[in-house]
Homo-oligomer: A and B are copies of this chain.
């Protein structure tokens, strides 16, 4: 790290830990030089970087001030209050329609599920693949069959250990992306007709899996900052048989909420009392805006009831489809299921990831990626705040790259989605995040692409929203 990066990091840490509060003024350049002995240009570069990251803002003639946390300038989201019934799910068709539209060429990717592909070290991965595959011992191909390459599993376990989380390599099964692990987990612990607890709103892939396996979904109240409501969950568990919970305790998709550690521990203990397995989708955990990786619920699991799924797809190697599951007491069953269906993750993908991880550089990449995503998120929030109609509320994502926008009354997310598509913008309407298409006021916006692409699209989207709200078809085409 250069000197200015170090200095910026120190200030950022003070902000993140609350020692510098919103509205506080940063030391002036003169003060900083005197106290820290750094040059004026170092201080200035550090402040500019913090500004890009959305942590501070400049006031003309006055200096730099700590900004309010992301999005605090718009109203807060309400805690969701689903109906309490377990429902059959029929959301797949809608999801496919929305995703197909968002994948079309020329459509601004605010509806996409992945951050900008230019953010990833694709050349280094190509080199790692080339080196690893050239050296590949033909006889070792068989070692890549499920549960996966032993050295890769060791590397994955090592990353958890560095963060103070104990996961044995033996417990880890390499999967074709997190999605294969999540689906296999759900299949392993349920029978058709069973009830599965989800957040509200929930990741649409969970809904699709529940629909595909003929299960019922039970939405539980969810706090947009702190995640699923444990009292509501306990009531539900007491009243009915629940076969599993599928949750994202860390940077929930779409809300971006983060369950505090104590709440995660309480969740695992509650589920253990009821002997209900937790399927934990942890794919965004490495993309934290804070100072350290949030602990997964799995780290509190003493009974092997947490099926913890993650992958490299969102943080290192999009498209390589390398994920993993640490499946506790269900590990053997899931490994066998994978052997019978996909048999292995490609030796090409496993070898590339293994060589990249063994060469080192992943943490450096992640630091850059987190800073970029946080800056993009801050800029996106500014754009929404500047252009969306009054009454719009926003999530306060603690990590990841999704922003959840609650539209003011009278504005339908599906209508805005359709209008946006006609203007070359994809978004994910709230209806796809609930079994009964309930979140008609919600929009999930992907802020993980380049500002030049995201910001004009967001501004156009804001203008469209205002036009739709005013029922003014003329306005609809104004940017």
**Do A138 and B126 form a contact, CB below 8 Å, given A177-B342, A209-B340, A342-B180?**
no
Cα A319 to Cα B343 in complex, Å, equals: 9
Interface residues in A328-352 by Cβ distance below 8 A to B read 336-337, 339-349, 352
Residues of B contacting A118 in the complex (Cβ-Cβ under 8 angstroms): 138
CB<8 Å pairs between A and B, sample of 20: A92-B336, A103-B142, A123-B134, A127-B130, A129-B348, A141-B319, A176-B176, A177-B342, A177-B343, A179-B341, A180-B342, A183-B340, A183-B341, A319-B347, A320-B346, A320-B347, A321-B346, A322-B346, A348-B348, A349-B349
Q: B117 and A126: CB pair below 8 A?
A: no
Chain B CB within 8 A of A362 CB = no
Instruction: Say whether B346 contacts A96, CB under 8 Å.
Output: no
Tell me, rounded to whole Å, the shortest Cβ–Cβ distance linking A321 to chain B.
5
Q: In the bound complex, do residue B344 and residue A321 qualify as a contact, i.e. CB atoms below 8 Å apart?
A: yes
Chain B residues with Cβ below 8 Å from A352 are 133, 348
Give the docked Cα–Cα distance between A315 and B176 (Å). 23
Q: Which of A172-223 contact B (CB under 8 A)?
A: 176-177, 179-180, 183, 192, 205, 208-209, 212
* Residues on the B chain within 8 Å of A192, using CB: 192
A160 contacts B by Cβ under 8 Å: no
Given contacts A127-B130, A183-B341, A321-B346, could you give 10 more A-B pairs where the C-beta distance is less than 8 Å? A92-B336, A96-B339, A103-B145, A176-B176, A205-B340, A319-B347, A322-B346, A345-B346, A346-B346, A348-B352
- Does A262 have its Cβ within 8 Å of any Cβ on chain B? no
Contacts of A342 in B (CB 8 A): 176-177, 179-180, 321, 342
Question: CB of A457 within 8 A of chain B?
Answer: no
CA distance A188 to B118 in the complex (A): 37
With a cutoff of 8 Å between Cβ atoms, the chain B residues found around residue A232 in the complex are none
4 nearest interchain CB pairs? Answer: A130-B130, A126-B133, A117-B138, A319-B347
Partner of A348, one of B96, B145, B212, B349: B349
What is the CB-to-nearest-CB distance from A146 to chain B, in angstroms, rounded to a whole number?
A: 11
In the complex, the chain B residue whose C-beta lies closest to that of A332 is: B96
A136 beta carbon closer than 8 Å to chain B: yes
A407-428 CB mask vs B (1 if < 8 Å, else 0) is 0000000000000000000000
Question: A117: which B residues are within 8 A, CB to CB?
Answer: 138-139, 141-142
Enumerate chain B residues within 8 angstroms of A212, measured Cβ to Cβ: 337, 340
A125 and chain B: residue at smallest CB distance:
B133
Write out, one digit per residue, whether chain A residues 107-143 have a CB within 8 A of any chain B CB (1) or not (0).
0000000100110101101110110011010110110
Per the bound structure, the CA–CA distance linking A51 and B96 in Å amounts to 58
Q: Is A144 an interface residue (CB 8 A)?
A: yes
Chain B proximity of A458: nearest CB distance (Å): 20
Question: Which chain B residues lie closer than 8 Å to A176 at the CB level?
Answer: 176, 342-343, 346
> A340 — which chain B residues lie within 8 A by C-beta?
92, 179, 183, 205, 208-209, 212
In this complex, the member of A118, A340, A348 whose beta carbon has the largest number of chain B beta carbons within 10 angstroms is A348
A352 to B130, CA, bound (A): 10
A303 to chain B, nearest CB (A): 25
CB distance from A203 to the nearest CB of B (A): 12
Cβ of A55 to closest chain B Cβ, rounded Å: 28
Complex Cα spacing A125 to B117, Å = 25
Chain B residues with Cβ below 8 Å from A177 are 342-344
Q: Which residues of B contact A346 (CB under 8 A)?
A: 176, 319-322, 345-346, 348-349
